[in-house]
Structure 1
Amino acid sequence: MAQPPGDTMPHRGVKICGLTEEAGFDACVEHGADWIGFVFFERSPRNITPQQSDRLSRRHAGGPKRVGLFVHPDDDTLARVLDGVKLDILQLYASPERALALSQRLGVPVWLSQPVSSRAELPTGCLVDRLLIEPKPPAQATRPGGNAQKLDWSMLHGWHPPFPWMLAGGLNPENVEEAVTLTGAPAVDVSSGVESAPGVKSPEAIKRFIQNARKPHFSV
């Protein structure tokens, strides 16, 4: 449904994922990101140790909530990371049942990545605190996300789920405004789209991404 002229959208959440260095972290704080993501997955060029993420996190006591991204983690991996750094949210590639069980056992909010390739695959329910809607990885991919692959935004036209969700996949400062206009996404997630090199964030790109993601627009 389109909004009347002059109306503005509520605050749109922005997550910058894959932080590994000080300049990127500081830019997220300075420009008001809602969440920053630390990737705990060895195959990713954005992989970080609990000790490294803790040092970054301690640069600023408040600011964005800290999200830890895990790919089918076992209990030992989760315990090791959580012993090394305080995380506000867990973002998982896992089954919905595993995600729910971890949320209940650990007492921490859990987001679940939900790769899709067609409108028929869009979820109708959510067992955890939020779903991340993103494209399925290409067949040759070595990791489930962070592949700079863009979702077909048209499949989200008119989709208004009754649970919190976030749009991810192939977003960058140049296309995020169009993405939220077409999808009505209440929150967006970016990683490689604001990098100057794999795993190295561009402070200027972070600034522009956040600004463009939050521009007023007409939802569809």
Structure 2
Amino acid sequence: MSDVKVKICGLSTEETMEAALEAGADMVGLMFFPKSPRHVSLSKACKLADMARGKSEIVAVTVDIDPDGLSRIRELVNPDIFQFHGSEAPEALAAAKVMQGARVMKALSVAEREDLERAHYYSIVADWILFDAKPPKGSELPGGNGVSYDWTLLKDLDLKKPFLLSGGLDPSNVADAIRQSGVSAVDVSSGVEREKGVKDSELIRAFMAAAKSA
């Protein structure tokens, strides 16, 4: 078994949360973005977070949310990490770390090598960087679109902070992605769904097995 960390993102049911936890997910992501088919209410998120607490790191995924919204999530769900998946500036991450007393992760869109440059600014503040594919034209979702990019762009990237590879991963290609990129952490959402926004327990287990054995 490898020591690759795996984040299963956009979980929204107790059954699929259970599958992710039993399969050994290192991080579980709860989506707080009403436009997303994976969005969960605060009350639902509380139940799911309670299942995961102490077993996996709970990541609250947000998109350009205001400080009051962050505080409500902090108060009710108490995540380990806030993920910022919008156009948030490094200063917003720094403020959230202080005000919410939690670690922060910044998602950045990648299509070519130049897109990695911004990561150095964010890595000063962020505890994790997540490299996702650029969304297709016209998509309202910043992530979870099932599109990929050249994984070799991340090879030998020296950020001084841990980072995850995301975008277009599924059980059939994750091992190859890990080999090509050399990353030690991966993130999946649409690649373990049977239809948009609906996770599949079998696909979660298959992804976990493939990533951990890479």
Instruction: With the length of structure 2 as denominator, give the TM-score of the two structures.
Output: 0.91
Q: Does 1:28 align with 2:20?
A: yes
1:126-137 to 2 correspondences below 5 Å: 126=123, 127-137=125-135
1:154 counterpart letter in structure 2: T
CA distance in 2, matches of 1:150, 1:60: 28
Aligned to 1:101: 95
Aligned to 2:173: 175
1:41 counterpart letter in structure 2: F
CA distance in 1, matches of 2:73, 2:98: 18
Aligned to 2:139: 141
Q: Of 115, 118, 124, which aligns to 2:120?
A: 124
1:153 counterpart letter in structure 2: W
Matched position secondary structure for 2:120: coil
1:150-161 to 2 correspondences below 5 Å: 150-161=148-159
Aligned to 1:112: 106
Any idea what the Cα deviations from partners look like across 1:165-193, whole Å, max 9, x if unmatched? Answer: 00011100000000000001110000010
Any idea what the Cα deviations from partners look like across 1:61-86, whole Å, max 9, x if unmatched? Answer: 42111110000110121122223212
Q: Please say which of residues 106-115 and 154-163 is displaced more in the overlay.
A: 154-163
RMSD across aligned positions (CA): 1.5
Instruction: With the length of structure 1 as denominator, give the TM-score of the two structures.
Output: 0.89
Give the Å deviation of 1:139.
2.0
Matched position secondary structure for 2:51: coil
CA distance in 2, matches of 1:80, 1:134: 26
CA distance in 2, matches of 1:161, 1:80: 31
Aligned to 2:59: 67
Give the Å deviation of 1:201.
1.3
Contact 1:134 1:168 in 2 (8 A): yes
Q: Does 1:51 align with 2:18?
A: no
Aligned to 1:87: 79
Residues 156 and 58 of structure 1, relative CA distance in 2, 3 Å threshold: closer
Whose Rg is larger?
1
Aligned to 1:5: none
Q: Please say which of residues 99-108 and 204-213 is displaced more in the overlay.
A: 99-108
Aligned to 2:10: 18
Contact 1:24 1:200 in 2 (8 A): no
1:14 counterpart letter in structure 2: V
Contact 2:49 2:79 in 1 (8 A): no
Q: Of 174, 186, 198, which aligns to 2:196?
A: 198
Give the Å deviation of 1:56.
2.0
Q: List alignment gaps of at least 5 residues for structure 2.
A: none
Q: List alignment gaps of at least 5 residues for structure 1.
A: 1-7
Q: Please say which of residues 155-164 and 112-121 is displaced more in the overlay.
A: 155-164
CA distance in 2, matches of 1:104, 1:151: 34
Matched position secondary structure for 1:155: helix
Matched position secondary structure for 1:141: coil
Matched position secondary structure for 1:79: helix
- Runs of 4+ in structure 1 displaced over 3 angstroms? none
Residues 43 and 86 of structure 1, relative CA distance in 2, 3 Å threshold: same
Q: Please say which of residues 103-112 and 78-87 is displaced more in the overlay.
A: 78-87
Q: Please say which of residues 164-173 and 78-87 is displaced more in the overlay.
A: 78-87
